[in-house]
Amino acid sequence: MDTVSDDDIIIATTGLISREVFERFDSVRNFYNPGAMGLVSSIGLGIALSTNRRVIVIDGDSSLLMNLGTLVTIGYQQPGNLLHIVINNESFGSCSEERSMSGSVSLSGLAAQANYASSLTVFDEISLKNAILETVGKLGFVDAKIELGGRRDFKRPLDLVELKHRFMHQLKGEVSS
Ligand SMILES: Cc1ncc(C[n+]2csc(CCOP(=O)(O)OP(=O)(O)O)c2C)c(N)n1
Ligand SMILES: [Mg+2]
pLDDT tens, residue by residue, 115-152: 999 999 999 999 999 999 999 999 999 999 999 999 99
Report the 10 Å Cβ neighbour count for 35.
Answer: 10
All domains of the chain in start order, with CATH: 9-171 (3.40.50.970)
Burial of 127 (0-12, 13-18, 19+ CB in 10 A): middle
Using the mean position of ligand 2's atoms as its centre, give its distance from the Cα of residue 148 in Å: 8
Say how many C-beta atoms besides its own lie within 10 A of residue 2's C-beta.
8
User: Residue 8 and residue 112: Cα distance in Å, rounded?
Assistant: 23
Looking from the CA of residue 87, the nearest atom of ligand 1 is: 21
For 6-18, the pLDDT digits (tens) are 999 999 999 999 9
Q: Which atom of ligand 1 is nearest to the CA of 15?
A: 9
